[in-house]
Every structure is written in C-alpha cells, then in structure tokens.
Structure 1
Amino acid sequence: MTARRDIVLLGSTGSIGVQAEDVVLRNPERFRVTGIAAGGSDPDALAAQAVRLRVRTVAVADPRATDAVRAAYARHAVAAGLPADGVDLLGGPQAVEQVAASPVDVVLNGITGSVGLGPTLATLRAGTTLALANKESLVAGGALVRQAQQRPDQIVPVDSEHSALAQALRGGRRAEVRRLVLTASGGPFRGRGMADLAAVTPAQALAHPTWRMGPVVTINSATLVNKGLELIEAHWLFDVPAQDIAVVVHPQSVVHSMVEFVDGSTLAQASPPDMRLPIALGLGWPDRVPDAVPACDWTTAAAWTFEPLDTAAFPAVDLARSAVASSATHPAVLNAANEVAVAAFLAGGCGFLDIVRTVHAVLGDHRDTGTSTTLDQVLAAEEWARARAGEILRGSR
C-alpha cells in the first residue's frame, strides 16, 4: 500500500488550490495537508479551508490580513468542534517561503504570478518534491530553479500541458525525442484575425470556452501569452531548445500535449479537460491516483481537430521563443510586462491588442547580454519591466 504523503498547498484558495483540496479530501488514505498558504484577500475562505483540512500551519502573504484570518479561523474551528487557537498562523511574504520549506513530502505551488518564485526556490532548497503549477517560477527564474533543483525528479509539472509531456516522455529515451508539441485551445477568439480583436472587452476575453481559471490566466489564454509562458516553462522543465517546441491549436482540449520521436511516432496524452488529473498526478508522482477524474467516453462519437496557430493574430508564442533566445532575463521581462498590461486591460485602461503590443515594446527596450542570472537581477529586471510597461500604457492613452 502507498504510504500517505504530507502536503503543503501554496495558493490554496485559488483555482489550483481548491481543486487540490478536492483531490486530497477524496483520497485521505493517500494525502494529508499539513500547511496552506494564500495571499489573504479572502480571510474567511482561507480559515474555512484550514478547518476542513485540519492543517497545522497557515501562512498569509499579506500581514494585514492575519487578524482577520485568526478571527475567522476561531469561528469555523469552534463550529467544527475544534480549538479556536489550534493553528500556527504566520504572516508576511517570508511566511509563505517558510511553510514552503516545511519538512513534508510534496509542496504544491499553485500561486499565480512571479511571486511564486521565492517559494519554489525555498521548496527545492529544502529537498522537497515540488508539484509546480506556478509557471512564472520557471519563466522568470528558470536558471535559478535549475540551480536549486537537487535531483532530476524533484519537480513534477502540474500544468495540464506539461503533465501530458511528462507522461508521454515515459514512452521513450530523451535521445529519441525530436520535439515537444504543446496544444492550445485557441481561447475564446480562435479563428479571428487581428482586426477582429481590436474591440474585445474584458468580459469577452474572460469567457473561455473550455477551462475555468483565474482572471489573469484566462486573459493570458485569450492572448495566447499563456502558451508562450508554457513554451518557456517546457524549455526549462525538459531541457529542450525553444525552437524544438511547437504549438498546435486543438479546440477540444482533450489531447493535452504530445511528444514526437525521431522515428516519426508521436505519443499524446488524452483526458477530459479537468485539472484534478494533473494535480493528483503531481501529488502522487510517479504513481497515479485511481479515479482522479472520469475517463474519456469511448462509447460516444467524438472528433478531435488540430490546426496551425495564427501567429499574425496571436504573436505571443513567437515573442516567448525570441525572449528565450535573447537573454536570461528577457523571459522575466516578458512576464512582468504582461502582468501590468493584463491588469490595465481588466481595469479598462487599455485595449486587448495593447497587451501584447506593450509586451513587445518592453522586450525591445530591454538590454541584457549577460549569461548568468541572480535573484536580484531577475527582480530588478521585473521591476524595470513593470515600470516601463506602465510608461508605455500611459503614453498610449
């Protein structure tokens, strides 16, 4: 029988964290959550989750939220017949890294944004297996993550595409791999030309046809920036050159990615679009969790289609590929500039097409020819990129 694993959930109240909670609660003989961490924007949800999971430690990134979390925890704990003060509450950005370095079996990093890099590095340095859903860790600090990694299997990807690649790569030796193929749903604007995208509203961009995700990831999916970030992530995860990573549009989102081998064969991983499968695999790797999600229904007729990516209307993937080739900090600049532009779009401060245009302009202004990168350099590059993106957006009004 598989021994039960102790788990820490980072970003526990977000989409990935909530679905991970579901996986854990349905498999109590396999997983136990000992610590959770979140930003603190919803103290009641975090406290209620802490009680449901019976965790020992709660970390809140925003120290101003700790009192509200403590009070909410007391209410939920008493209602559940537990002590009102039965949890160790930590506050501040370093608190998330502290819980990430806990002596557990697996840390699931489901934090959104490059703020997830610090906890990723803390987990790796502690020697703990990292189930990684925070793609920005590798986008912003791929070289740093690679340096902190202590063993080849220490990072288990949780993004559905990278989980699919990890599974398909089991089917052959690395020397036999010709290229990786990432699939993209195409988002809500698949088939539209650039002229059709000028008047897109935030509500339209948030209406993803397949996945239910947070607002930033959903907008990134609409612009295809998300696929560019995933290309960079795949480059670092699997040590494959960016030019050997292709993107193909697959609207049904059933084939999550593929590996093409040198003999002409291609292995694909297929499952219904449900993030609980890669989450369960990330927590249990290399073992699978039985009945993590319902399988494809092979008794019902279905058609899967694939089509080339329109790089003229959606240039973000090419931008990501060029960022990898430019310098160690260009990918961090791409991600930071995009975060600013997405926030501006959601707030009504710029148009949909301005998101990638801003990212392109900031990348063009960035100068870094160095071959090595430190955390301070990454953070400085991000700070510069955010400021430069803000300047460009203000100038475009």
Structure 2
Amino acid sequence: MQKLIKLLLLLTCFIGYTQQVRHTETINESWSFYKGSLDNPFDKAAKVSWEKVTIPHSWNTEDILDDKNGYYRGEAWYKKTMTIPQIYENQQVFLLFEAANQVASLFVNGKPVGEDHIGGYTTFARDITSALKEGGNEIVIRVDNSHNDEIVPQSADFSFYGGIYRDVQLIITKPIHFEVANLGANAIFVRTPEVSEASAKITVQSKLVRPKKGTYYTKQSLFTADNKLVKEVKSRTSFQKDAHNSFSIANPNLWSPETPYLYKLVSEIVDKKGNVYDRVENPVGFRWFNFDPKKGFSINGKPTKLIGTCRHQDFLGKANAVSDEIHRNDIKLLKDMGANFLRIATTHKTQQFWRCAINWV
C-alpha cells in the first residue's frame, strides 16, 4: 500500500511538472545601479561605482523630500548578469518590464535589443533570444526621466520619479506561444458583453505566434473558484490572425464589491493530439452596471452608493517603487474603511494591484 501511495505521489508531481508550459520568474534581485551618464557602460575596465539594488527601485527616494529645489531628472543605468535556463528546445526568451520611468533602452551582451520604450507607466516586453549566449548574459538597461517635450504628461500634480519601479520578469516559451511582446499587454482579451442573473456570454480574443504550416487550436476552459470545470471550447487558428472563441454559461456567480467572485479562464494552444504548447490563466468576473440620472449607480441591478478615494502609487522613502506588499495593504485599508470604489489617479497600475483590486482583498 505504501508503495502505491508513493507511486501516486510521484505521478502527481510529474503531472504537475508537465503542466508548467510557460516559464515565468521575477528577476528583481541582485541588480547593479549607477546614477549618471556613462560613455561606455560595457567597458569592464572602467572605474564605475555601481551600487547594489533590488527592484522595484527609484533614484528619487530622498531628493524629492529634501529642502533643495527640484530633484534629479536624468540618466541612470542598471545591469545584471544571469544564466538563462534551458527549458524547451528552440525556446523563446523575453524580458518583461512592468514599468520604467520614462525612457528605457535595453542591451543584452552589449547589443541593443529593440527600440527605446517611451512612456513611464506602461508595461513593455522584448524578445532577447537572438542576443543570448551560453553561460552568463549581461543585461543592461538605461533609464532616463529627463524632461522631454515629446513625452506626455509635461507637468502634473505628482513627481516624475525615475527608475525601474515595477517588477521585471523573465519569460520563456516554446516557439508556438501566446504573444509576449504584445506591447507588454496580455495577449488574451476577455470580454463579457452580456451578463444577467440567468446567463453570461464570454468572448476571448487571443494573439498567438505559430508557424504557417500545421494545425493548431486555442482551447478555453472556464473553472469555478473551487476549480470545477464549467465550460470548455476549442477553435482552429489561422496563421498571423487572432484567434476567437465565444461561449455562454447559465446562472453565473456574479462579482460585486461585497462578493468579489472570480472564475478562472485557462487559455491553451494545442494541436490535434492534444499536446499543449502554451498556457495562460486569467481571472474572470461577471457583472453588469449602469448609471441613471435619477437613481444613481447600480451594479447587478442593485442600487449602490459609491464610497471611495483616490490613490497614487508612491510611499514614504520609496518614491513610486512600491512593493506588492504595500499594494495589498493599501487595498486592505480601503476595504477596512468601508470603501467600495477607487479612483486610480492618472496612470496604469501594476499587475499585483489589479489582482488585489478585483479580489478586493
């Protein structure tokens, strides 16, 4: 009996391992940082005083609060050497930056990768596969928060802190995969155009990378909060075209601030034999809402008074380099004070913030 139990445990571990189709890890630790301009940042012999930092990071944590006018707006550099794990044959390797303020240039092993990313509040990703080598790979990022007449906003009621102030992820996929370098956006677009107590409709638009030859499908599986399968659909994909799936479910559990119920949508790319090439998971909440000039706001047909506040992403001693823990605590404070509404100021927020917000925890 004990041997049977051990065998079952081994099989469970093996199945769990094989289900890890996409490799994603946060690489926030052990970065070197230099504030200022560098004529040759790749010169190993140059005497540069690099400082060890952890991302999220900003170079304006102190000068924004001192008694001097202004704060540093200029160039700074980050670098890190790492060995890329070999996960798949012919794997594709990406770096995803949740944000860097406000112009970012990426170099891998001394070679520029892609165009500069302009804008300090949006996620961006770069395919670094062709720039990699065996062994250690030097990742270098130049970030510049200088005033730039070509970048908006020009001025605001908040400070333009410089730095890689949100997470950096290493993502490794198979050659066939949902897009990663999709301007940094999620490649799975989930919409709920029709929702009622009786039924809900879901449409899913997927951006994927696949060869011209071969037959591949996108499979969408919707699970309840306790991981029970509700619906599964599959549709054939076409080369260089977005894939579309749609389906409906009956009697959906509705999302609201009081009961923030979330389903899980698992999106997969599969072939005829059922082999899985990529997998992405997204939360899905079903609700409908409307504003009426006489009755006010309602959600799921229930009149609801909006009680909330506005929140900027900054914190004492950290500038805008706010940790996931602080995001979670801010949402908890809002919930504890009885809020059911939040204005997110004027900039896009982190993935962790959105996860906390839709769970309202």
Q: Is the helix fraction higher in 1 or 2?
A: 1
Q: Is the strand fraction higher in 1 or 2?
A: 2
For the aligned pair, the TM-score class normalised by the smaller chain equals under 0.3
The higher radius of gyration belongs to 2
